[in-house]
Structure 1
């Protein structure tokens, strides 16, 4: 009875809050992206130590965004944030060619975590506003995204500074999570 009432309540008055973990190497632009999504503007940021959280509504879905620091010393703690995660956003600095292999290792480590085996992965190839940036196709190949055969994933180019590409990624995420719910 309680479950049926809860389900009816959710269908009439809104859905549950969806937990989204925003991960990626340091200096990828995770925090800037999160605040561009939630506030609509670019804010001054410092390297994230621990995490930042923000609530955000998009296309009738309620998101609880967890922006987790990407420094080497913090990456081992990522798994503790993945419990009950509905989706993962992995942000990559498209201009950081030297660390794309490290980004691939970290992304694949996350994808193999049992806590997120059913969570879709949105890869945002950030900093597309820089002329020398790798294209999303180059990044997809470098990250070996086609290895995620059993997963729902998508990659989009974006710029946290201009906002370009954010809507496309959010639309995909909302559609994917809405279809699951």
Structure 2
């Protein structure tokens, strides 16, 4: 069992962050205990040695650690900083990559989640990072107690100040397990691909849906153009915008959703899940009717009804086994815990799928 953390800390304490033409500096930031040092050493043994399965103990990092890690066509200086304050003298205007790590188990605590986002907002507000690739790394993602990565991503996307500051960056959320190395390759591959591209932002071709107003979002969706990502929030948003006008048919909505190819940060299509969210959005509209003469933006509607539209509210009606079953992706399956709330005309209560051309007019 190798004990390398203290040894590396002593070596790196004399180092200064100095990106050369042969290497790219990657700043690994986050709270103590979130897995930064484990990530550094696992990546080091996996890519820089002939012993990728070497075991090691991780000791507290006094200030920072650094290792040179080769990956594909790039050579990375991977810097592990003990605290946010430890990196302040090392952040430069030409910093190309920041990996911000969070603990997927601790992130369930509201104060931990808020602090993680506050620290990133502070960094983006106080340093000129125009061309910086920013990665959020959700460590311990594959452990039983961890928060789902979609929920974590949703909390970042719905933080208006944070998402405003991230606009223009190549930002992604990746899951990993720093101790086993699971997910590390995907992260380094993404960074490598982005570094080899011209310095442009994905918003030039693939828009972040949170940056579009309701009209732009709906138009882009129905023109069947791809988004940077399409999450739960986007799904209930397009459902809301599609049924906001009376007698609006949703057959086209089903066709687009079922034919879309999801990326890593997007939800996969399911007939049952889509119909479930149509039902829940419709019921929310029944309880909180739209006001005549007002704009009725989706954000205002969601703010009023967010409790009944939480991402995991399906658990009240469905078991995990049924909701995520293969059969549920192809056809509508009724809930196995309790009936869905009634939001439709009596003639449309038998939800059997998109091919029925159901009248989704809200009562």
Query: TM-score band (shorter)?
Result: 0.7 to 0.9
Partner of 1:80: 89
Secondary structure of 2:70's aligned partner: strand
The structural deviation recorded for 1:77 is 3.5
Distance 1:58 1:169 in 2: 11
Distance 1:137 1:42 in 2: 31
Partner of 2:70: 57
CA-based RMSD of the aligned residues comes to 1.8
Q: 1:180 to 1:36 in 2, by over 3 A?
A: farther
Distance 2:70 2:126 in 1: 27
Partner of 1:163: 181
Secondary structure of 1:170's aligned partner: helix
Distance 2:141 2:176 in 1: 6
CA contact (8 A) 1:85 1:115 kept: no
Distance 1:52 1:82 in 2: 15
Residue 58 of structure 2, aligned match among 45, 50, 73: 45
Aligned length: 163
The structural deviation recorded for 1:180 is 4.2
Partner of 1:103: 116
Matches within 5 A, 1:139-150: 139-143=152-156, 144=159, 146-147=163-164, 148-150=166-168
Question: Which residues of structure 1 form unaligned runs of 5+?
Answer: 1-14
Distance 1:180 1:42 in 2: 38
Secondary structure of 1:159's aligned partner: coil
TM-score if structure 2 supplies the norm length?
A: 0.43
The structural deviation recorded for 1:42 is 4.5
Distance 1:126 1:25 in 2: 12
Distance 2:144 2:170 in 1: 30
1:153 partnered with 2:171: yes
Residue 172 of structure 1, aligned match among 160, 168, 190: 190
TM-score if structure 1 supplies the norm length?
A: 0.82
Moved more, 82-91 or 48-57: 82-91
Q: Which has the higher contact order (CA 8 A, sep 6+)?
A: 1
CA contact (8 A) 1:82 1:115 kept: no
Bigger strand fraction:
1
C-alpha distance after superposition, 1:4-53 (max 9, x if no partner): xxxxxxxxxxx531011000011100000011111124521122111001
Moved more, 146-155 or 27-36: 146-155
The structural deviation recorded for 1:177 is 1.3
Distance 1:50 1:173 in 2: 25
The structural deviation recorded for 1:142 is 2.1
Distance 2:62 2:130 in 1: 26
Distance 2:184 2:86 in 1: 27
Residue 125 of structure 2, aligned match among 92, 103, 112: 112
The structural deviation recorded for 1:81 is 1.8
Question: Which residues of structure 2 form unaligned runs of 5+?
Answer: 1-20, 47-53, 200-363
Distance 1:65 1:105 in 2: 23
Distance 1:101 1:141 in 2: 13
